[in-house]
Structure 1
Amino acid sequence: MARSGFSVKSKVVEAIQNGVWVWPDEWRTRYPALFQLPPITLSNEKDRVMWRNSVGNLVPFASKERKLWTQDRIMKWNHMVTGSMNQMCCLLCYAGLETHDHLFFQCSYSRSVWGSVRLKVGMDSVQETWEDISSWLVPRTKSRAIYSVAGKLVVAAATYAI
């Protein structure tokens, strides 16, 4: 790569000219798949984290939020819910309706978990919202630095545990 003018820090835009891939000719036999890539159009739009939904469509991360089957969502989906509203409370703290925001950021148990996680991975200045947490994580997604890898794992484990 280095002999051809590329490095690990090279960007996609450096391998495209006028919408066409410009791979070194000596790569044709070594990496034939590169020469079969379709042309792409680059824009100045900010990068976004995308997820593939259950039918295979790409959707922004933000629209993936709040898909947990929390009690408030179940209540909206099933209008026939009957019984005591006490059964709708958060099962971690027994105080408050189990909503997405409550479960992750308002529940006393979750707040103590997130407080510990934020200190351990250097997220002290990150607000407790999914938007801010994902904004902190996105730049670290490709990093192999031990601190970034550990941070991603700790955030993922905390989210899963809650």
Structure 2
Amino acid sequence: MHALKKNRPLRRMTLAAATTVTGVVLLLSLKPHTPPVPVRASSSASQPSSSPSPSAGSSGESSGSSGGTKTAGTRTVTGDTVQTRWGPVKVRITMRNGTITDVTAVTYPSDNPRDQEINSYALPQLRREALAAQNAQIDSVSGATYTSDGYKQSLQSALDSAGR
């Protein structure tokens, strides 16, 4: 007689329990995203880094210093490094006569292919939004929420440093 026949409910319950426990153990053994590593904030705003190492900060914390340069009506200001779940985000803005003329993501998560894929479409969208809005009140990019939040916070700190 087969082990799963209806006249043997205890065997079915035992098999179901064993299967459930095995499934839970397998799920718990999955490894999460690569753990972040602390990043050191550079003391000079003129040292861009397009491939940073992630940091261990929690979402929304910001650190680092704002820096800027000024040349004949054009001013470049770098925002604070904002630690996100997937790594640091830092934005640099260029302003001419009080108008944002360029926004560049200096530091952003790029340690794995998924980060690179997300940021390849998210950063250009965030840049366009910032240039159109001329402030940090921009929409987040779907699928890149943490990067979008860090981008907006760093952008706001750069604008604050520029006196806007």
TM-score scaled by length of structure 1: 0.24
Higher RCO (CA < 8 A, seq sep 6+): 2
TM-score scaled by length of structure 2: 0.24
Task: Point out the structure with the larger helix share.
Answer: 1
Q: Please identify the structure whose Cα radius of gyration is greater.
A: 2
Task: Point out the structure with the larger strand share.
Answer: 2
